[in-house]
Chain A
């Protein structure tokens, strides 16, 4: 990754409150074209909130968002999708009672254009191809996702976002959370492949720092509603990141404030 690559995404001074809870105080970060940015931080730090602002789900109380250097006002998830922003939500976004392939194409249904009629055959075909491509095995794409394991569901959510024709920016909010080691490796592999293909820029949230360093170009830490740390992955280590996170806890416990 060259340092000179222009920013695909830049957010400045983002703030967001939920009632009395300040989730984000003043967040500024940037994501270069073709880059994989690792975003880490404690539970409740506001990572998911930031993702949901960039994906048009929440409106920020303050701050600006730039795509390819141009300021945008994101009013809805659909609008963000049209601008090429695709998301894997931490709380997934699958409808349990729907089949695998209907979930894969919810709100991106393939139709017999110009009629709004579902082209189920094509959706099934593509679903199978996407899942094969990731390498995850799902017995039948016509079963409801309720019957699948957490890892399988996560894989569907990832495939859904990754294989959007127009995905330019991918936001992956803890995509490895529900996964076993093998499934997790598949997703990391996929991220690596996407990175090499060069078309998309990715923000990856994960708690396993080894995973983060394995695929990310740069790491940001979100603490107390701000970005407190920004370094190339090559210049940091699992130890440093762990120390960074734990030291805060120690300070808090010893009453040192902070």
Chain B
């Protein structure tokens, strides 16, 4: 073990299942290399737990390269940890110092129930997407480049919104557990494209209705979501969604 390895103390939320009560448990994490990612640190801790015959800590992950949105974790009170615009899987242990205590909690929202330890059910996001987060078009063959007239500005606005990986950090960061940054991003990515126009009213109405049904809170414009978003989605998407929803509502659109 090289000398720059760190010994950390973890306070981790452990919960057997969705119905069981949970609590913060102290776990030591000795011999952590600064080159590890945060998830690799947890892997190391889990290996040691398994060697001792204990249950490993359950946490979500998939790509481990910051693009899938599966990893989560509120680390020391901040979704995805202390580094701006970085997912937990891309956070490195060199950001921590020997002897640090790190508190690790799951996303907290009634719409995201904890299934086990740090894993929450983000199915609510899937149901919101299914309610209107798509365009109903026959795609046919791949269209020629530039066949659809659209300005660079509009294309950029759509692409910026489409960067959302649906991780749920916005909900986790919001004191109201509001999903408006996520839903706003999904509404906005289509609202800026010609393909999104025919269903624009319907989409805003359906996705907001589903968002409300899932029990997410209402936005109070604190903008914590934008600050916590690993992809830096701007709150402008919330203003755009509100505009689309209010216009569609006032029109009595169906």
Tell me whether A and B are bound partners: no
Chain A residues in contact with chain B, CB under 8 A? none
